[in-house]
Each structure stands twice: as structure tokens, then as C-alpha cells.
Amino acid sequence: MVEKHRRTIRLKKYDYSNSGYYFVTICTQDRKCLFGNVVDNKMVLNNVGNMIKKLWLKIPERFKMVEMDIFQIMPNHLHGIISIVGATLVVAQSLSRAGIKPRAGIKPAPTTVATTTIVPITIVPTVGNIVGGFKSLITHEYIMNVKNNNWPSFEKRLWQRNFYEHIIRNKYELNKIRQYIKNNPLNWNEDRNNLRL
């Protein structure tokens, strides 16, 4: 059976490497509960959940222009706010040193200005790069633990394809989403991701 082409949920013509806050939700395939349980309105992480927490917090080690804000691991999904910082500034500085005027929305590859001078341009990750890298790393670590520590296996893929994202546009929205993430365990019994209902 051929899988149908999935419609992208990204905002057209938006540069997802722009500095700013992004709210993301990443779900397991078929909403399978693998990360722990909500007990007395609090999320209790199992070994898988603790591994995810550890690697989520390490994202800035891999992507230097990323800062982690509030996040919440739930039994079958993760909510988090990712902040990309200084992206526009770094690219503009690198280009101005090379005497190049950047066009809007374009982040050119490093270029040779003279035969011996290479202008360093920081590669700014997109939200998709960050989430994709995280999902791949978690999948690899999970497979190793299935083999070595008898973690439950999964069919075909660990994560649902794609992820939900929302560009946070102001402080009011940022605080509202932070509160939503914080309250997620309290609302688990009404959560549409809770397939145990």
C-alpha cells in the first residue's frame, strides 16, 4: 500500500530559523504510552521518560543558538518551548564583515571572499532541524535499550510523522502557553492524546 503524501503544517514562506519562541508538540506513533504515567495529577517518568528528559535538555549542546524553555513530558507526547536566539544578528554580522548585503529571508552558505579568506557564517538550525535531530537521537537510544535493557519494542516507528508547532508572537501568548504546558498533567483525563479514556 502506498502512503499518501502528507500535507505540510508549516507556515508558508516563514523562515523557521528566525530568532524567537516556538511551541512544539511531538507525539509517539499511534499515541502509544511509553514515557510513564500520570499519578495524582503529576507525571511520573519511567526509564524512557527520564532518557527523553535528559536528551531534551541537551539540545543546546548540539544546537548552540537554541535555548530550552518550559517543557512537559506526558505518557505519549512532549510539549516544549524552544527559543532560537541571535540568529538574525549572527548572519547579518558575518555577511557585513564580508561586505555582502543580505537579502531578506536568505542565509547564504559560507563563501570565499579572497583566495585565502573564508568568511565564517554560523549555520542557524530551523525548528524542523532541531525536532528532527531530537527524534532521531531518541529513536536510536530507544532501539539500543530495546536490545540491551528489554524496553518494549515498537512497530515501524517510535514517533508520529511530523510534529505540531506554533510561532509564539508576544509575551502574553508565551505566558499562556507556558501555563498550558505546566497544567498538562492536571488535564490528562480530558486530553485528546489520552487514548485510555
Cα three-residue angle 62-68-71, rounded to 5 degrees: 125
User: What pLDDT is attached to residue 194?
Assistant: 76
User: What pLDDT is attached to residue 122?
Assistant: 58
Closest CA to 160 of 59, 77, 73, 36: 77
User: What pLDDT is attached to residue 90?
Assistant: 43
Predicted TM-score of the model (pTM): 0.76
Can you give the residue ranges of every domain in the chain?
A: 20-86+124-183
Specify the fold of 20-86+124-183: Alpha-Beta Plaits (3.30.70)
Look at residue 1 and tell me whether its pLDDT is greater than 80: no
Look at residue 157 and tell me whether its pLDDT is greater than 70: yes
User: What pLDDT is attached to residue 148?
Assistant: 94
Look at residue 68 and tell me whether its pLDDT is greater than 60: yes
Cell of 141: 537510544
